Every structure is written in structure tokens, then in C-alpha cells.
Chains A and B, each alone.
Chain A
Amino acid sequence: DSGVTQTPKHLITATGQRVTLRCSPRSGDLSVYWYQQSLDQGLQFLIQYYNGEERAKGNILERFSAQQFPDLHSELNLSSLELGDSALYFCASRDRDFYGYTFGSGTRLTVV
């Protein structure tokens, strides 16, 4: 157990639907990073939050959004889902005193 918790582990949904993925960072970590892993694109950075505020954006589609709540958990919202959104979605957190990033075990999203 890395200490970063992601739920659900698996999600199957239909095209056009909306889903919410949840991430709880390690205790005390203020930063949350979301990544998408697909076979063709590899690991792509989506968005970063630090202590409730958006800090950086990567290759995140406009149909996707995220937020970080006061208790530091984060949610990634994916809407108007397309088949190509099927992927593994990871979140990671980082200790301010440590240079490594700790990843959760991911949410596997399948859009049918």
C-alpha cells in the first residue's frame, strides 16, 4: 500500500456518460497530480493541485475537470465520455520534503 488511495479500481461506463474518480493523497501531502496511461499515448500528465489550488495543467481535455477539497482529497471528473478515454488514471502525491512522487494503484476506466 503506497498510501495514495484511488477509488474505484475499475469503472465501466457508456459513451456520453460522466464519471468521477477519487484520490486521497498520502497523509500530510499537499500536492496531487493526475495522469492518464493509455497504450498509444503512454503516461500523460493531466493536472496538478496544491493545497486546494490548481497549480499546473498538462494535456487535459476540456471535457475533463478536477478539484481538490479542503481535506486534500481530489476528484477527477470526466464527461461526455468517448471510447478513446478508456485508460488507466493514476493520481500521485508528493511530500514537500522528499523528491519522489508516490502513485496510487490507479482506476481502470473502460468506455463501451
Chain B
Amino acid sequence: GEDVEQSLFLSVREGDSSVINCTYTDSSSTYLYWYKQEPGAGLQLLTYIFSNMDMKQDQRLTVLLNKKDKHLSLRIADTQTGDSAIYFCAESMGSGYALNFGKGTSLLVTP
């Protein structure tokens, strides 16, 4: 599929907010996802957003979607050391289609 781009690294201090950015190029993407991968573990679904929405909030997580710029962001409020992981942005053309992933952003939270 088209490329999904993410910055590779982000380092924040505990208690600060983290913002992880993603750009996608396939304008036909219908659903956009954020997954978290901890060392040695599988992928955990954090949240998803439909392309007809521009924001979704779920506890400490806020997803913003700018469809015009094909830009997706994940904000983690009050970041904790347990949030250190790799975060993947993914797009899907529709229900049942396979996910197209970015290369992941490695988030390091320091005390």
C-alpha cells in the first residue's frame, strides 16, 4: 500500500504530554488506528478513528485527524514510564481490509 510515515523516536519526561504524529497518503483510507507494542509483546489496539471524524478522546488518549493534510496524531496526557513502547499508526481502506502500518515511533519516558 501507500506509505504511512512516522517519526522514529520521541523522548518525554514523566508527567508531560506526548504527541506522536503520522502522515498517510492513501486518501481512500477509511479507518485509522494506533497500536502499542511493548518489548517482546504483540500489538495492542489503543484506539481507532473513522475518517469522517476529526477527534476522538479516550481517557488519557486523544486522536486528532486532519483529513485534508492526511495527518493523524496521538496525544498521551500525563505520560508515565509504563507508556514507553513503540507506537504504530495504521490505515485501512475499509471494514475487513488489511492494515497498512507505519514503521513505528519509539517513545521513551524518562523519570
Contacts and interface: CB of A to CB of B under 8 A. Distances in A.
Nearest to B41: A105
A50 B104 contact: no
A35 B100 CA distance: 10
B48 A99 contact: yes
Nearest to B100: A45
A100 B96 CA distance: 10
A45 B98 contact: yes
Contacts, number: 51
A96 B50 CA distance: 16
A27 interface: no
A2 B97 contact: no
Contacts of A50: 96
A50 B44 CA distance: 22
A89 B45 CA distance: 17
A42 B101 contact: yes
Nearest to B47: A100
Given A43-B88, A105-B41, A105-B42, A99 B99 contact: no
30 contacts: A2-B42, A33-B98, A33-B99, A35-B101, A42-B103, A42-B104, A43-B99, A43-B101, A45-B98, A45-B99, A45-B100, A48-B98, A55-B96, A56-B98, A58-B98, A90-B42, A90-B43, A92-B43, A94-B96, A99-B50, A100-B48, A101-B33, A101-B45, A102-B45, A103-B35, A103-B42, A103-B44, A103-B45, A104-B42, A105-B42
